[in-house]
Structure 1
Amino acid sequence: MEDNYSRSTPESIFSRQEAVGSRSKSFLANVFTYMFVALGITAVVAYFFAANAEQLLAPIVSNKLLFYVVVFAPLGFVLLMSFAFNRLSAPVLMMLLLLYSALNGITFSFIFLQYTSSSVFGCFLTAALMFGIMAVMGYTTKQDLTSMGRIMMMGLIGIIIAMIVNWFLKSDSLGYIISFIGVIVFTGLTAYDVQKLKRIGEGIDEEGNIMGSDVKKLAIMGALSLYLDFINLFLMLLRLFGRRN
């Protein structure tokens, strides 16, 4: 009786809540660390290839097969990580995330060459500010963002379909509308994903397990989600406000 009572005292309840909060913060810290590493690799590779375009990008452009591999391989990496998550180990997932971010850097170098450096930098800072605000909102809000997340996912599917259609139409007006909606969708997804990752972190037990999955693997996939939110938000802003060379 005394033991059962002691485990239900306010002090013990607060202690358990504090431990849950600590594990959640540690999990999110790992997620953001992996994300920043991936973004750093993308930025460095993009800058290096853009600065040496004649030596590095010209051979890619001249070889159609190599060009399409560079452009579409990142999508393959995302699909592989998503659908083979349970069969892949944490080190393999991390390697795929780093390779994916490097390939994205090559793709981004083509995009950056089309815009002035000042507009790229300005859109990056804007995206970082918007991402940070929405990440804090997602972490601190008490409101359940699940419904909003579903709406944002529906919007994302609509954007993908519209982008495919516009691939053939090549309409500047439709492209502008897609980019505007994209900014809304990816800002919303940022808040939703951060809240979802916070709840995942709160579910980690004292042994570091959660839902039968490797916590490190979940952190890597969480980093991938936030990485995608950020780069897509950045690209949408660049298409809206970037000044072309």
Structure 2
Amino acid sequence: MAVTAGLFALGAYLGRDLTGGLGILAFLAAFGCLIGMHFAVRKSVELTIGLLGAFGLLIGLAVAPTLAHYASTNPQVLWQAGGATALFIAGFGSAGYATKRDLSALARIGSWALIGLIGFGVVLIFVQIPNGALIYSILGLVIYAGLTLFDFQRLRRSSDTESAPLLAASIFLDILNVFLFFVQIFSRPDQA
């Protein structure tokens, strides 16, 4: 997980001058790595770990144009989002790790809610809803609170080393998405 975060940071640094189009290509390649991990986990743990590292680097490249924009226009947003993300993950991760109650149902609900959130995001592209981006981000944080609880409970309960890279990718995605939702919230014009 730490190596993936480090590769993400390296990708974000290397891609700071990328255009949005290249960022999208990096995102698609990162998504391909995630899919590849699901197939590789049964065959080779080393390949799965390699794909996890490639995913971290590629998703860093994909997010780099956005991070570079905020770093040059309003770096305070990145600091605020980073601090809020750390508190969010520490709180919900600790609660998920500590709880004895089975949170599997929360994962199913969160997965379906995430699909609904994507649909809501598509609607926001075409329909102007007052504070739609804020609503989207808050709903995303609620959904990822549940997914973070579940993933950290899986971390505590899991003893299968072969599935560790998939769990690391899942927790990394929780953290990244929470960070991006907080960036959206803290970058609102009325926050300046």
TM over 0.5: yes
Task: Determine the C-alpha separation between the residues in 2 that align with 1:170 and 1:220.
Answer: 40
Answer yes or no: is 1:138 the counterpart of 2:96. Answer: yes
Q: Offset at 1:125?
A: 1.6
Rounded to whole Å, the distance in 2 between the matches of 1:46 and 1:100 is: 12
1:85-164 to 2 correspondence within 5 Å? 85-115=40-70, 116-164=74-122
**1:27 counterpart residue number:** none
| 1:237 partner letter | F
Q: Aligned ranges for residues 128-207 of structure 1 at < 5 Å?
A: 128-169=86-127, 173-201=131-159
Please name the residue that 1:76 is paired with: 32
Q: Which runs of 5+ in 2 are unaligned?
A: none
Partners of 1:106 and 1:233 in 2: CA distance? 18
The answer for the alignment partner of 1:221 in structure 2 is 166
Deviations 1:2-28 (A, max 9, x none): xxxxxxxxxxxxxxxxxxxxxxxxxxx
CA contact (8 A) 1:123 1:242 kept: no
- Residue 9 of structure 2: aligned partner: 43
Matched to 2:162, the amino acid is K
Q: CA deviation at 1:243?
A: 5.9
Identity of aligned residues (%): 29
Once residues 133 and 36 of structure 2 are traced to their aligned partners in structure 1, the CA distance between those partners, rounded to angstroms, is 29
- Output the CA distance in 2 between the equivalents of 1:163 and 1:97: 27
Check conservation: 1:119, 1:243, Cα contact below 8 A.
Answer: no
Match of 1:144, SS? coil
Residues 10-49 of structure 1 aligned to structure 2 (within 5 Å): 35-49=1-15
Aligned equivalents of 1:37, 1:169: Cα separation in 2: 40
Question: The residue matched to 2:58 in structure 1 has which SS?
Answer: helix
The counterpart of 1:239, out of the listed 184, 188, 192, is: 184
Calculate the aligned-residue CA RMSD, in Å. Answer: 2.3
Q: Normalized against structure 2, the TM-score is what? A: 0.85
Change (3 A) 1:174 1:80: farther
Q: Distance in 2 between the 1:130 and 1:171 partners?
A: 27
Amino acid at match of 1:221: L
SS in structure 2 at match of 1:143: coil
Partners of 2:13 and 2:64 within 8 A in 1: yes
Give the aligned residue type for 1:101: G
Deviations 1:188-230 (A, max 9, x none): 21111111232222xxxxxxxxxxxxx3331111101100110
Structure having greater relative contact order (Cα 8 Å, sep ≥ 6): 1
Structure 1 runs not aligned, ≥5 long: 1-34, 202-214
1:156-196 alpha-carbon deviations (Å, 9 max, x no partner):
11112222333444767322211110011112211111112
Specify the code of the residue in structure 1 equivalent to 2:27. V
